[in-house]
Amino acid sequence: MSTSSHMETENGSTNGVTNFFDLQRMPHIVEALDRNQKIQPDILHVIGNTPLVKLTRIPKDEGILCDIYAKCEFLNPGGSVKDRIAYRMVLDAEQRGVLIPGKSVIIEPTSGNTGIGLALAAAVKGYRCIIVLPEKMSDEKVNTLKALGAEIVRTPTEAASSDPDSNIMVARRMAKEIPNAVVLDQYNNPCNPLAHYDGTAEEILWSLDDEVDMVVIGAGTCGTISGVAHKIKERCPKCIVVGVDPYGSILAQPEELNKSDVQFYEVEGIGYDFLPRSLDRSVIDKWVKTDDHNSLQMSRRLIREEGLLCGGSSGSAMWGAIQAARSLKAGQKCVVLLPDNIRNYMTKFISDQWMEARNFKKVIRNDKVWWWEHLVTDELFQAVVSISNKSTPLEALDKLKETRAPLLTIVNDSGSIVGVFTADNARQRLANLSGSINESLDKFTVKKFYKVDLMLKPTLGQISRLLDITPYVVVVKSEATSQIRKPVGMITSNDLLIYTAAETKHLNGK
Ligand X SMILES: Cc1ncc(COP(=O)(O)O)c(C=O)c1O
State which of residues 111, 155, 188, 462 lies at the interface with ligand X (CB under 6 A): 111
Q: Is 270 in the site for ligand X (CB under 6 A)?
A: yes
Could you tell me which stretch among 24-32, 169-177, 265-273, 439-447 binds ligand X (CB under 6 A)?
265-273
Q: Which stretch binds ligand X (CB under 6 A): 219-227, 282-290, 345-353, 476-484?
A: 219-227
> How many other CB atoms are there within 10 angstroms of residue 403's CB atom?
12
Alpha-carbon gap, residue 50 to 452, rounded angstroms:
43
Conformational region of residue 235, where left means phi above 0, alpha means psi within -120 to 50, and beta covers everything else: alpha
Asked whether 88 and 194 are in contact (CB, 8 A), the reply is: yes
Does 115 sit near ligand X (CB under 6 A)? Answer: no
Tally: H helices and E strands in the chain:
16, 16
Q: How far is the CB of 185 from ligand X (least distance, A)?
A: 13
Choose between 214 and 270: whose C-beta lies nearer to ligand X.
270
Q: Name the strands in the sheet holding 67-72, side by side, starting at the edge strand that comes first in the sequence.
A: 52-54, 67-72, 333-338, 214-218, 240-246, 286-290
Q: 459 by DSSP, 3-state: which?
A: strand
Task: Give 84's Cβ-side CA count (13 Å radius).
Answer: 31
333 has catalytic annotation? no
- Residue 207 or 313 having the CB closest to ligand X: 313
According to CB under 6 A, which one of 221, 295, 409, 422 is a site residue for ligand X? 221
Q: Determine if 223 is a binding residue for ligand X (CB under 6 A).
A: yes
By CB under 6 A, residue 82 contacts ligand X:
yes
Least distance in Å: CB of 111 to ligand X? 5
Could you give the string, one character per residue 330-369, with x where binding to ligand X holds by CB under 6 A and - elsewhere? Answer: ---------xx-----------------------------
Lay out the site mask for ligand X across 296-335 (x = CB under 6 A, - = otherwise): ---------------x-x----------------------
- What amino acid is encoded at 281 in this protein? R
- Which residue lies nearer to ligand X by CB, 277 or 485? 277
Which position among 38, 60, 71, 82 bears the catalytic label?
82
Residue 87 phi, psi dihedral angles, 5° rounding:
-65, -40
**Piece in contact with ligand X (CB under 6 A), picked from 144-152, 264-272, 348-356, 400-408:** 264-272
| Nearest in space to 488 (alpha carbons), one of 375, 423, 409 | 409
What are the φ/ψ torsions at residue 360 (nearest 5 degrees)?
-90, -5
**Distance of CA 252 to CAs 7, 218, 467, Å?**
25, 11, 38
182 contact partners, CB below 8 Å, separation of at least 6: 2, 3, 4, 6, 93, 98, 99, 104, 105, 106, 107, 175
Size of the site for ligand X (CB under 6 A): 20
Query: Is 487 a binder of ligand X (CB under 6 A)?
Result: no
Q: Quick one: which of 83, 185, 245, 268 contacts ligand X (CB under 6 A)?
A: 268
Q: Judged by CB under 6 A, does residue 109 bind ligand X?
A: no
Taking the least distance from each CB to ligand X, the nearer of 55 and 270 is: 270
Q: Which is nearer to ligand X, 120 or 475 (CB)?
A: 120
Nearest C-alpha neighbor of 245 from the set 317, 193, 322, 350: 317
Residue ranges in contact with ligand X by CB under 6 A: 80, 82, 111, 113-114, 218-225, 268-270, 311, 313, 339-340
What residues are labeled active site?
82
